Amino acid sequence: MTAVGITTVSEPPPDGTARIGILVTSDRASLGRYDDLGGPAIRAELGRLLVSPWEEVYRLVADEVDDVAAALTELADARGCSLIVTTGGTGPAPRDMTPEATERVCDKMMPGFGELMRQVSLAKVPTAILSRQTAGIRGRSLIVNLPGKPSAISDCLPAVFPAIPYCLDLIGGAWLETDPAICVAFRPKDGTCCKRPAKGAVPIGGNETTAAG
């Protein structure tokens, strides 16, 4: 991977800190011809949504499918990000390849994220159907594609966020807590799969009784 632009090399998180990757895919921003607006918008939204400790790992790459895939892999595998949020590259233009890169690196796809985000955006603008954004799981990481436009980020990320903490519980990711005044995250009342897993433990299935299974 050729990481372009600002690269934050993070120390391993102290116990209890969730690591979140922010991946900006943009030819122009990666060349310095354009200020990245998507990354700061995601950072601001996460800051508003989360009350549990988290730290970010930021990457900015050109819209090359190999580079995007490599950045996702690095954020998931080497950096241990439980959540990776991308911005940009989800449209129909020739250089928009973020969903393809996401699909390439994921073990399983989560079509419900893209469906809901398009539905929410569609209430604002009819071109929401042009967004090909999706989500998927790689190991213990959830990858979620967001649009490039900051206002669309503010529509899409809060729409899907109520499902994200429990999703991370199910895949053995970090424990997230949201500000209930902003976002009521759902965890089943019976507590199955909803205690912070011990280090190294992968929660086993539990699909019979989960609200997602």
Q: Is 149 in the site for a second copy (CB under 8 A)?
A: yes
CB 137 within 8 A of CB 83: no
**Which residue of 67, 148, 178, 197 would you call a contact of a second copy, by CB under 8 A?**
148
Smallest separation, CB 201 to a second copy (Å): 12
What angle is formed at CA 161 by the lines to CA 11 and CA 60, rounded to 5 degrees? Answer: 45
Q: Which of residues 86-115 bind a second copy (CB under 8 A)?
A: 88-97, 99-100, 108-115
Q: Residues with Cβ < 8 Å from 190, sequence gap 6 or more?
A: 209
Query: Does residue 39 bind a second copy (CB under 8 A)?
Result: no
Q: Which of 178, 176, 210, 177 is nearest to 192 (CA)?
A: 210
Q: Is 116 in the site for a second copy (CB under 8 A)?
A: yes
Structure tokens at 4: 């372009």
59 is a site residue for a second copy (CB under 8 A): no
Interaction of residue 210 with a second copy, rule CB under 8 A = yes
Q: Which stretch binds a second copy (CB under 8 A): 2-10, 24-32, 47-55, 72-80?
A: 24-32
Residues within window 152-181 making contact with a second copy, judged by CB under 8 A: 152, 160, 162-163, 166-167, 170-172
By beta-carbon proximity to a second copy, the closer residue of 1 and 212 is 212
Q: Does 1 bind a second copy (CB under 8 A)?
A: no
Applying CB under 8 A, which part among 9-17, 50-58, 68-76, 202-210 lies near a second copy?
202-210
- Please name the residues in contact with 132: beta carbons below 8 A apart, sequence gap of 6 or more: 90, 91, 92, 96, 99, 114
Map residue 123 onto helix, strand or coil.
Answer: coil
Tokens of 34: 């354009």
Closer CB to a second copy, 10 or 210, in the complex = 210
Which stretches does DSSP call E strand in 40-185? 54-61, 83-87, 108-109, 135-138, 141-146
| CB 118, min distance to a second copy, A | 5
Q: Which residue has the tokens 């992968």?
A: 202
